[in-house]
Each structure stands twice: as structure tokens, then as C-alpha cells.
Amino acid sequence: MMGLRFTVPALMLFCAVSLQAQTSDEKTLDRIFDETMNNGEAYDNLHVLCKQIGHRLAGSPQADMAVRWSFALLQTYGFDSVWLHPVTVPHWVRGEKEYGEILNVAKVNILALGGSISTPVDGITEEVIEVRDFDHLKELGPEKIKGKIVFFNYPFPQNVVNSFEGYGEAGPYRWHGPSDASAMGAKAVLIRSVGSAHDDFAHTGSTTFASGVPKIPCAALSAIDADLLSATLQGNTNTLFKMILNCKMLDSVQSYNVIAEMRGSQFPNEIIVVGGHLDSWDVGEGAHDDGAGCMQSVEVLRTLKAAGIQPKRTIRCILYMNEENGNMGGKTYGKYAERSKTEKHIAALESDAGGFSPRGFSMDSALLHAANIQPLIKMMEQYGVYQFSEGHGGTDIGPLEKAGTHLIGLVPDSQRYMDLHHTENDVFEQVHIRELHMGAAVMAMMCWYLSEYGVQ
């Protein structure tokens, strides 16, 4: 009993000292965390964006609706300013659902790649030639490629820790594989979907053609159907494939970045940007890519305002338009920032890697090693955020680099993102409320800290 009498007061004294030792910054981070996790609205806002608006390819009526809805949403929060920033965007349309068939074997699931042209009305039916990689394409040469449908069957690498590394390795077969094949005379291109799952969801995404190279129809096969086509080719090298695509590029249209801000109390002309891209591909609901990042960015401002935390520097939320097939929103805003005579964009944070559990932040080397960032890195460990590394900030914010802006990307857990990326399966039901709000909370912490101390 005597030991207990001494232990309890000692424990109480230890707790009191620990509480007193908590710094003002740590208390502010706790306030931010508590407000977002207890009262966060990002998940409910994302539900509206996904279920009442849906997918939002730039130039589409849904993209226009998303602009009008998000503008009205931001106005309801009473931020210091809310406005629309005009952007001219491309307008590619998919048209009627694609048709794909391994002739006399099976109908297969294909999705036209963004930027593809249509086939003739009755489609293309040609012999398929399987290509393992770009070296194999060069080895085959124009004499074996000309007039055929080239099938790039490059599997998504699984021996990577971060799935974005796998995307970087397999992605080029979508980005410029059709152009390379067209330059050798290919009539059309199929690619194995750039995705980490083995399922029947085809993945769309942009492709580009080099200057002077004829545009040809190109589409992605689901992983399961890619395996079927490959197996069929092993048994019959003269396999024919039929594809019908109805896509086309229309005239560019007027759209907008949607912007809101909390003005800084001491340095209002020093700007910290936080954002994601409001557009999505025209399949699924664009939940993780990038409705999640947009609603997290709105939540950053909502949280700080609701918690009564006034930033010293201006925090500006930007919902960018047209990241998926042109990045005109990012480019247009980047030019504005570069030319501004009154504003200095000191940092920009983007969330465009999914609404999964936050693990850390990637950033440019100068910011990563800045002296005043080191205390924040240490304080964030208690929130499960520990992966601070040099790396990519984000496509939308990339053009801000020319304005001397430090670029930061939220790094969530990456293991399931490439299963859903650019597919029909990127829907609201794939998003978890705690993961989404945890990401928003740590984004708010980063933005507040930068607004408090700048970059030194």
C-alpha cells in the first residue's frame, strides 16, 4: 500500500508535466485533427459529387455541373473569397460503348484511350500481333507491324512497394505506345490495362501521338481479357480481332478552375495553394481520382475556419479542371502565378493519389530539408504520417514551379489505388470515411504550419 501511495501522486505529476510540455503548435495540430475527424464534411461532399454528378470529363455537361455545384458549396462556407478562374479545355467524347471481339472466340471488355480516334462505322477487323515491350516492337519492325492491330501485353509489375512505381513502368505503353506503333504502320492498337489488379475492369487514360504520326484507334483490354487474347494467339498466330470505337475530339470549350481562400492575417500576399482536380475520366465516378483530393482540399479551409484558426499567410483552395487530358487548369493557373506582380506563391500541396490512409508527403528537396519543416515532420509521427521524401508534388501544381513555388504531394497508402484508377470501379463505395478525413486532417496541418512559419 505504501508503494501505491507514492506511485499515484508520481503518476499524476508526470501527466501534469507532460501536458505542460505540449507546445502551442502541437495543441493546434490536435485542434485541427479533432475538428476534421469529429465534424469533417469531406465524405458527405464526396457522396454528392459522385452520386449526384458522377464522372466529369473536361468539356462534358457533368464537368460543367461539377463547377457550378462546387462553386455554390464553397460559397456556403463563408470563406473570404470564392471565384471562378476561366480555362479553355479540350472536349473528347467516347460516344457509344466500344465493341471488342476475338473473332469467333469471345466478346471482350475494351475501353477507348483518351485521344483515340474512332474506327470506321463497321469497325476494324485485322490480324493481331502481340508485342512484349518496346524493344520487341523495334525487333519486329515495320514489315511485321504494318496493317495489323498491335497488342502491347506488358503486365503491371507487382514487385514494387509503391504502386505508382509500377504505373511509371507500365504507363508508357498507354502514353505513347499507340504513337510508336502507328509510326510503323499499325492500323490500331490494343494495350493491356495499366492496372495492378487481375480483374475484368478495363482502364482508360490519355494517349498522345507525336507530330506527323497518324492517329489510329486505340483501346485498353482488361487484364483477364488480355490473358485470353494472349492465350488465343499462342494457339493461333493468325488470330483476328474486331474493334468498334465511336470516340472523337470536338471543339474546345470554356470551363473553370473553382477557387476559394482564407486570407492571411499578416502576409496576405504570400499564397499557399491546396487542391486536386475536379475533372475525372468518363467511367466510374472519379471518387479516388480525384474527387477525394478535391473534397479534402475544401475540408482544409472548412476545418481551419470551424476551429477558429486564422492563418498568417493566405491559404487558397483550387479545384483544377482538365488534369486528365491536357492539364489546362494547372497550366492556366501556373501562368497567372508566374506573371503576378502582387502575389508570391510560396508552396502548393496537391492530393491526387487517392483518398486512402495518409502515410506522408513528397516534396522538393529544398523544402524537405528546410530547417523549419523538421519540427513538423516530428510532430506528424503521432498521426501515422512518417514518409517524408523528395519526389513528385502533382500534375496540377507542377506549372507553379516556374513561379518559384515549393511543391508538395500527399502520399496515401498506394496498394489499391491502381486497381481502381481510370475504371468503372472508381466509385464512392471504394472510399472509407476515416481514411479520407485522416488525409484531409494532415493536409490542413501542413497548410496551417506553412502559413504560420513560411519556408526558411
Distances (CA, A) of 168 to 72, 156, 157, 397, 413: 37, 10, 10, 19, 17
Q: What is the pLDDT of residue 237?
A: 74
Cβ atoms of 178 and 216 closer than 8 Å: yes
Q: What is the pLDDT of residue 433?
A: 98
Cβ atoms of 295 and 42 closer than 8 Å: yes
List, for residues 162-205, the tens digit of each pLDDT value: 999 999 999 999 999 999 999 999 999 999 999 999 999 999 99
Q: Cα separation of 187 and 116, whole Å?
A: 12
What size, in residues, is the chain?
Answer: 456
Question: Where along the chain do its domains lie?
Answer: 28-93+251-453, 99-246
For the structural domain made of 99-246, what CATH number should be given? 3.50.30.30
Residue by residue, DSSP assigns 15-81 as HHHHHHHS-HHHHHHHHHHHHHHHH--HHHHHHHIIIII----TTSHHHHHHHHHHHHHHHHTT-SE
Residue 12 pLDDT > 90 = no
Residue 115 pLDDT > 50 = yes
C-alpha cell at 230: 494472349
Q: What is the pLDDT of residue 456?
A: 83
**Average pLDDT, whole number, for the chain?**
95
Cβ atoms of 207 and 175 closer than 8 Å: yes
pLDDT band at 5 (very low <50, low <70, confident <90, very high): very low
Q: What is the pLDDT of residue 21?
A: 58
- What architecture does CATH give domain 28-93+251-453? 3-Layer(aba) Sandwich (3.40)
* Stated pTM of the model: 0.94
Catalytic amino acids?
323
List, for residues 369-409, the tens digit of each pLDDT value: 999 999 999 999 999 999 999 999 999 999 999 999 999 99
Q: What is the mean pLDDT of residues 421-434?
A: 98
